[in-house]
Structure 1
Amino acid sequence: MPKIRTNRGAAKRFTRTGGGGFKRAASHRRHILTKKPSKRKRQLRTVRTMHASDVRQARQLLPYS
């Protein structure tokens, strides 16, 4: 049986947590930051967990993580 390939795009975006979930970064933090308030940009820095409905698909994209 051949090995399963890891989706490299997903590997750069998500990391596995100890409990089996996935960590992800917040969106809307790449460009056009001058018009966003400091409070919003500060809150977008925090790491979030992936929604439970998306974990199954992420597990298929990252089989060895």
Structure 2
Amino acid sequence: MPKMKSSSGAAKRFKKAANGTFKRKQSHLRHILTKKTTKRKRQLRVGENRVAAVDTPMINRLLPYA
């Protein structure tokens, strides 16, 4: 049986952490930034985001070798 491929879109968006959860980036910080307040942009930038526990099985299917 051939190897399973990872979803290239998911591979670009998620990285597996040491404890098995997935790290992700915060959305809304790429373009159209002039209308967003400095406070809003700063709060989007700060902190580490993890994927919700209910979504982890789906990402495990998309990234079989992560």
- Cα separation, 2, equivalents of 1:58 and 1:39: 31
3-state secondary structure, aligned to 2:30: coil
1:52 partner amino acid: A
Unmatched 5+ stretches in structure 2:
none
- Cα separation, 1, equivalents of 2:39 and 2:19: 30
1:24 Cα deviation after fit: 0.4
- Cα separation, 2, equivalents of 1:61 and 1:51: 15
Q: Is structure 2 residue 36 aligned with structure 1 residue 7? A: no
Give the TM-score normalised by the residue count of structure 2.
0.90
3-state secondary structure, aligned to 1:15: strand
Aligned length: 65
Which residue is equivalent to 1:43? 43
Unmatched 5+ stretches in structure 1:
none
% of aligned pairs identical?
54
Give the TM-score normalised by the residue count of structure 1.
0.91
1:35 partner amino acid: K
3-state secondary structure, aligned to 2:23: strand
1:40 Cα deviation after fit: 1.2
Which residue is equivalent to 1:27? 27
